[in-house]
A and B are shown apart, each in its own frame.
Chain A
Amino acid sequence: MTHPTSRRNMLRSLFGGIGGLGLASVLSREEAQASTVGHYTGPRMLSKARHVINLVLSGGPSQVDLLDPKPALARHEGQRPGSVELRTERQTGGLLPTPFQFRPRGESGIEVSEMLPQLASVIDDICVIRSMYSFNPTHTPAVSLWHTGTVLLNRPSIGSWVSYGLGSENDDLPSFVALGGGGSATRSGFLPAQHQGTPFNHSELDPVNMIPDLQNKWTDQLAQRRQLDAQQALNREYSQTFGADEYLEGRIQSMESAYRMQFAALDAFDVRKESAAIREEYGSGTFANGCLLARRLVERGVRYVHVGFSGWDDHKDLEKNYRKNCPAMDQAAAALIRDLKRRGLLDETIVVWGGEFGRTPVSESGTGRDHNPYGYTMWVAGGGFRGGLAYGATDEFGFKAIENRVSIHDLHATMLYALGMDHTRLTYRYAGRDFRLTDVLGEVVNDIIQ
């Protein structure tokens, strides 16, 4: 039972208050900024990570063609041993060997596919998790599982939880930015709306075209400043007459933030401000720009950046498609790791890579692979995760995770741990109970963090 004047009441007045902002103390600018302070109240873990960049390869990249070599596939080509009788989305055929060569790379000697030469060059900074598993073989629920920990399409995403837990480091930018991707990827669910992922269309290079209403098409900067000054004069008069009020004061500050955001975003979201050498290192294309933008954003204090790269749903023609799509992905992801490291940002940034599931080692339609939630690979770099480690294993054909299995909830718990939070203590009360990102599940995987 809760006393009516509880802290929760203060923080979460459903009506009339500013979400996340205490009704109690009002009005000074210092306190108004409390809206960007985190709500995590559990014990702080020893950790270095403060940001997350999530590289989301939607469709589901194939582990046995990229990071989980399975020589047995070639030996049993076309066969269907009993261990592959697992129901996926569609009917599948016999075992399909990878057309790509693997060899040990880096000091760690982790075996990497020839499709990922650039990532292979930074493999000693990467923690490869070969024993991921999930629960659902169709895209939408599986995507939701990755982002929110449940197939229910109404729960907050991990980016919203991180924003809610840690708050923002930069008032002039949203704390959770999504470059490609919406729906469950950006949903804040029952968490206050300021923690939702703000989508930006990064297929455009000019920030003005990426962000709705970022610039005024009819008024120049100087005139707009005059407008804002005139408005704020009226606002202050109004506050004088009305009296102290957190909303009125909050909006005065927020107007200034928005005004600054126009320029901060123009700068932050413009990859063209990078040197030619850096841009060349990342490569060209939407994903490359997204990775580079992600680095610029975490540099400026954005908590969580989602970078989407769709088109990894290869039910057929996998080899042809990989030869076309892998180089751009490989180059940009590797450049991101190198770039963060050079700038000393890798330790404080978790870069997590993967799809909503992996793919079957058995073929679909002869040249492709079906969805596989039983076992797949994700990788994590930076943020205190152990580089040069290949963790866990799938069965001899790469279908099912069998050794050191890691669920999505486990990885979420570990990411929150790396960000300094106990996943069982990051909670939000809603509809009669305290909700968590990891629901009643999730174990921190100690072996993959330093």
Chain B
Amino acid sequence: VFLFLSLTLFTAPPDQAPDFAFFESKIRPVLVGKCYKCHSSNLPAPKGDFALDTKDGLLKGGATGVAIVPGKPGESRLLMALRYADTDLQMPPSGKLPDTVIADFEQWLAAGAPDPRTAPLASAVATAPQGMSVEEGRKWWAFQPLEVVAPPPTRDSRPAKNVIDAFIVSKLEQQGLSPSPEADPRTLVRRVYVDLVGFKPNYEEIEAFLADPSPLAYENLVDRLLASPHYGERWGRHWMDVARFGEDNPTGEATNPAYPFAWRYRDWIIEAVNQDVPYDRFVKLQLAADLIPGTPRADLRALGYLGAAPVYHKDLRLSEQVIGGFLTDDWDERIDATTRGLLAITVACARCHDHKFDPIPTADYYGLMGVFASTMRAERPLFDVEPEVETRFAWLQNRLFDLAYSVNLLTNEASTVVDSASRVARWKAEIETLKQEALGLQEKYPQLVAKLERYWSPPGQRRQADDAVNNGSRRRRNSASTEPFTNAVFEAAQYLDGSDPQFTFIHYKAGEARDMPLLKTGNLATPGEIVPRHFPTVLAQSDPSFKQGSGRLELAERIFSDAAPLAARVIVNRVWGWHMGRPLVGTPSDFGVQGEMPTHLELLDNLAARFIQHGWSLKWLHREIMMSATYGQASQPREDGVRLDVANLLVWRMNPRRLDIETYRDTLLRLSGRMNERMFGPSEDLQSPRNVRRTVYSRVSRGRQNSLLKNYDFPDAMQSAGGRDLTVTPLQQLFVMNSEFMHEAAAELAAATSSEAESDARLQFLFRRVLGREPTRRELELALDFLQGGSLEQYAQVLLSTNEEIFWP
């Protein structure tokens, strides 16, 4: 991909510091052009253990000692090497540099070797971005500190139910509008069910609410549903859109097979949402559960956010450039998912050049990339293991996979790689060594050894062999496993090793972290400065650098310290949107300049500030929103509203919507009496007619998206989704008219009417079951007419297919 982007010209302005100008014009280009190839901290093993792409590295020297002595050219071995004076130390090996260049180095060393590379962050910030500078950016609305803004006064005589209403009504009044009256109780009870538990209530549930004389009937209903386990299934699924939850990879080739334990991550989300785990902790666990002291092992499942993320296949026969492209694409995906999903900033726009609109320099992008280049996926046990053993196990998985895969590539393919036999022999020897090491764990951790066995058992013997090791793309439709493991990540720096011209290896350095070089125009072939891992500058309240390990935990923590106001605004805005049908910021994953401005900034801030005060509790936030008169409004169109604010930005009514696919399918299953309410466990195929579980338990594929989900605007799990475009298309209606699913539901309902003897009683039964209400006299007449030439089953399908059923007013 870097090749496409290479035309986007980006020229860093020269550093203005006079001390450094000489370095920039005379020294740095030589270092980059002649030395970085072998002496870069970007390499798994810099030659002579000497990396001169950072000031620290240059000063430290290498295996043979100090390379430069600032102020003393005569004592600097670097200069001796350049001069080719010593036959044992001649650099660069490709040929002696021109004398003028060597003279430049001498002059520079004599001047004390001024080197600006200690402060890449500062220099990155100092570059003039094409868009907004970091300084300007700090004034942007979304990055401001939060305060509990007092609600404005309103003329409305009705008592405001809570502060939300004051903010909404005040703006409406400014435009000469008023809120809509309260929705009728029947609409309200349906609204609350769909909203909180994800299906419409049945007739009995509706009637029970209508018959409840308590003034707290509505409040009690909300509280009861918030406590229902179905609440987590509904709101967990909202989060799964943002977390781009998927259970496999787009192509399912050897190095990017399906994730057998992704379902555990889904289950964790549902459990955590049901327990109202504070949102800050909820996110921190997904980014860094393994690094937070005292975390129960079951919470490692949360790491599916990173450990079951989409990755690209890497055929190791390809060049370092090609493999490097895929690796950086993987890391780019993590940057995109975390920054848009958690902070609504579009950091991925800064991959090739400073962000064209927002205050995000390219250095901030590569500062985050280092975090993900130091985070490697692995299957981690859910049982207790000593930390060192676990890290080694995670490393062994990755190394053994690569070795077994490579052996397979060169053995089974009609390959003519030169010296393939010697390579295979070498790799097999390493597998054998690692096998012996792993077998040492047999007594204490047989389950770990069993997990690794597939990498050394000969193909004939391994019934349980991992398909992934076999070359090719044998995609198993159901790859789910119930072994006590989970798809997670561990701390390991990844480096590319292109020293073999036929084969590219990825080295995993367990327990280590690395920084990435800034890749101008995103091009791997032109690595620039090494960028220390750090938090986006515009959000940092103090030194942005990460100090511990990969920086994953610090990233998670700073989202909720330095960037807490933004993080709170982002989730509050999403939750508002899921409740109300339109978020306050219309682009919920982009709070930048290209995004939309909030329609009610003060309201957003007020809610976000109090959300933090209430311990980041989503259930508090739900209650706050749902107890407002704004939420309880009718959704019918009004002449004045349509004329003055057709898009309902001012919220003069509730936004009427159609059900999303999960809610529609679950409602149809439940009302026809077919739903299996069992929670959790491996996913099932949505296509299977026997699958009558809630839709959230259906398999989500990134490679072969289910056509029903696809037709109903289910998001592509390849990227974090901020919202769904709810379309209406004929292909959706073909499902409604002709599918086996609808047929089964109708047949089930028709069979259930047999308890009634008369046609009108049967029809009344159907109306109650499907639409949760009595038929009108006219509807009954029409239905009886229909039965003259049609069956009850056909009529049941008519009712299931109506607009009323799929609509959510």
Contacts and interface: CB of A to CB of B under 8 A. Distances in A.
A115 to B, nearest CB: 23
B595 interface: yes
A152 B802 contact: no
Contact of B646 (A24, A35, A233): A24
Contact of A16 (B315, B657, B740): B657
B414 A235 contact: no
Contact of B790 (A15, A19, A226): A226
B453 interface: no
B1 A233 contact: no
A431 B348 contact: yes
Contact of A153 (B250, B586, B736, B778): B250
B378 to A, nearest CB: 23
Interface residues of B, number: 114
Interface in B715-764: 716, 718-719, 722-740, 743
B727 A19 contact: yes
A213 B734 contact: yes
Nearest to B649: A4
Nearest to B707: A212
A223 B794 contact: yes
B582 A16 contact: yes
A91 B416 contact: yes
A198 interface: yes
Given A247-B656, A254-B728, A154 B312 contact: no
- Interface residues of chain A: helix, strand, loop or mixed (majority): loop
Given A14-B587, A140-B313, A226 B789 contact: yes
A283 B346 CA distance: 52
Q: Which of A213, A218, A228, A242 has the most CB of B within 10 A?
A: A213
A199 to B, nearest CB: 8
Contact of A150 (B4, B349, B726, B731): B4
A449 B4 CA distance: 24
Contacts of B513: none
B738 A215 contact: yes
Given A5-B649, A9-B586, A19 B803 contact: no
Given A90-B416, A154-B718, A233 B725 contact: no
B416 A15 contact: no
A259 to B, nearest CB: 7
B519 to A, nearest CB: 16
A18 B738 CA distance: 23
B637 A254 contact: no
A174 interface: yes
B237 to A, nearest CB: 15
Contact of A248 (B325, B577, B783, B807): B807
Interface stretch (B316-324, B368-376, B620-628): B316-324
A443 B62 CA distance: 48
B417 A90 contact: yes
Nearest to B319: A87
A89 B317 contact: yes
Contacts of A93: 416
B722 A14 contact: yes
A174 B315 CA distance: 36
Interface stretch (A99-107, A188-196, A327-335, A348-356): A188-196
A347 interface: no
* Secondary structure type dominating chain B contacts: loop
B728 A213 contact: no
Given A87-B319, A433-B349, A248 B803 contact: yes
Given A4-B597, A440-B5, A432 B719 contact: no
A429 to B, nearest CB: 7
Contact of A13 (B349, B582, B809): B582
Interface in A174-192: 174, 182-184, 187, 189-190, 192
B366 to A, nearest CB: 18
A15 B778 CA distance: 34
B595 A432 contact: yes
B703 interface: yes
A219 to B, nearest CB: 6
B7 A441 contact: yes
B794 A258 contact: no
A413 B436 CA distance: 57
Interface string A223-264: 110111011011101110011110110111011011101100
A141 B322 CA distance: 10
B156 to A, nearest CB: 22
Contacts of A432: 340, 346, 349, 355, 357-358, 590, 592, 594-595
B727 A193 contact: yes
Interface in A21-77: 23-24, 26, 35
A238 B804 contact: yes
Is the interface on chain A under 10, 10 to 19, 20 to 34, or 35 or more residues? 35 or more
Contacts of B229: none
Contacts of A279: none
Interface in B777-797: 778-779, 782-783, 786, 789-790, 794-795, 797
A138 interface: yes
Contacts of A440: 4-5, 7-8
B646 A251 contact: no
B61 interface: no
Contacts of B718: 153-154
Nearest to A93: B416
Contacts of B802: 231, 234-235, 238
Given A13-B647, A213-B738, A4 B728 contact: no
B317 A242 contact: no
A159 interface: no
A439 B416 contact: no
Interface in A409-450: 409, 429, 431-433, 439-441
A440 B776 CA distance: 60
B801 interface: yes
A16 B418 CA distance: 60
A416 B346 CA distance: 29
Contact of A231 (B312, B355, B711, B801): B801
Contacts of A257: 730, 733
A87 B310 CA distance: 27
B224 interface: no
Most buried by B among A92, A254, A259: A254
Contacts of A224: 737
Contacts of B251: 140, 153, 183
B774 interface: no
A360 B209 CA distance: 73
A138 B340 CA distance: 30
Contact of A254 (B599, B716, B726, B729): B729
B588 interface: yes
B658 interface: yes
Given A15-B726, A89-B318, A4 B586 contact: yes
A365 interface: yes
Interface string A75-115: 00000000000010111110000000000000000000000
A359 to B, nearest CB: 15
A199 B711 CA distance: 12
B474 interface: no
A218 B804 CA distance: 24
Interface string B312-352: 11010111001001100100000010001000001011000
B597 A219 contact: no
Contacts of A250: 728
A214 to B, nearest CB: 6
17 contacts: A13-B586, A14-B577, A14-B587, A18-B728, A137-B322, A138-B313, A153-B702, A171-B730, A172-B730, A230-B795, A243-B636, A247-B656, A257-B730, A258-B733, A431-B348, A432-B355, A432-B357
Q: Which 10 A-B pairs have the closest CB atoms?
A: A432-B346, A14-B723, A258-B733, A19-B725, A154-B718, A258-B730, A153-B250, A16-B581, A19-B727, A257-B730
Given A5-B649, A251-B806, 16 more contacts: A15-B657, A17-B725, A20-B725, A91-B502, A153-B702, A192-B725, A193-B711, A212-B707, A226-B790, A230-B782, A234-B799, A238-B807, A244-B642, A251-B658, A258-B731, A439-B4
